[in-house]
């Protein structure tokens, strides 16, 4: 697990392409194809980071003006996912959760209980964080691990369900979304979408 921590330490911009490359080679892909796909993922993350940075810099002046003009005073600062992910990746439960989730994923694929292979190891921190919250509430390390495990399984099942929608929207075959914070909206988003389609007829 020290190797995993070392790779994740590079950040998702580098760790995700490296992991994608390794898995592609392990599963028999040609080196050229594996490298091409890994570079595509890396460039995608880089472009996304640049876009988010541009949006934040563009909105910061407007936000400051709004706070000043409305005389708003806030005592809580939302530092977003970077702080939470760093906190989760430093947790004692990290090696257990990563190993348990990945082994569970392989077992579920072999038993046809899921069609999704979650290789987005960087974002496994979502499952670690879910366990940390439960551990803090219950005071039990192992109940926290169980919560991480259950969160992972539920996420896989929802990822299976939304896969056709994701593939249609992105016009990309054989993909889905496995981030816990994203798929958590599916039980709300899908009924809302159905309702809106009925109303708009």
Q: Label residue 200 by pLDDT band (50, 70, 90).
A: confident
Q: What is the pLDDT of residue 136?
A: 94
This prediction has a pTM of 0.69
Q: What is the pLDDT of residue 117?
A: 92
Q: What is the pLDDT of residue 76?
A: 63
Least confident piece of the model among 10-19, 85-94, 103-112: 10-19
DSSP conformational letter for 79: -
CA distance 125 to 88: 6
Q: Label residue 70 by pLDDT band (50, 70, 90).
A: confident
Q: What is the pLDDT of residue 156?
A: 96
Counting residues of the chain whose pLDDT is more than 70, the rounded percentage is 83
Structural domain boundaries in the chain: 1-70, 81-190
Residue 146, pLDDT above cutoff 90: yes
The count of C-alpha atoms lying within 13 angstroms of the C-alpha of 162, restricted to the half-sphere facing its C-beta, is 25
Give the chain's mean pLDDT. Answer: 82
- Asked if residue 158 lies in contact with residue 130, where contact means CB atoms within 8 angstroms, the answer is no
């Amino acid at each position: 697990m020290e190797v995993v921590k070392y790779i994740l330490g590079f950040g998702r911009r580098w760790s995700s392409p490296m992991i994608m490359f390794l898995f592609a080679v392990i599963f028999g892909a040609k080196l050229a194809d594996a490298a091409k796909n890994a570079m595509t993922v890396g460039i995608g993350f880089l472009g996304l980071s640049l876009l988010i940075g541009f949006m934040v810099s563009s909105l910061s002046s407007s936000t400051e003006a709004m706070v000043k003009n409305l005389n708003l005073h806030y005592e809580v600062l939302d530092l977003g996912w970077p702080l939470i992910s760093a906190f989760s990746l430093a947790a004692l439960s990290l090696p257990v959760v990563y190993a348990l989730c990945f082994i569970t994923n392989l077992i579920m694929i072999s038993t046809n209980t899921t069609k999704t292979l979650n290789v987005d190891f960087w974002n496994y921190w979502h499952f670690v964080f879910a366990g940390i919250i439960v551990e803090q509430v219950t005071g039990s390390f192992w109940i926290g691990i169980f919560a991480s495990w259950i969160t992972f399984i539920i996420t896989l099942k929802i990822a299976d369900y939304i896969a056709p929608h994701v593939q249609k929207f992105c016009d990309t075959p054989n993909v889905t979304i496995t981030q816990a914070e994203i798929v958590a909206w599916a039980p709300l988003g899908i009924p809302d979408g159905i309702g809106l389609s009925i109303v708009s007829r």
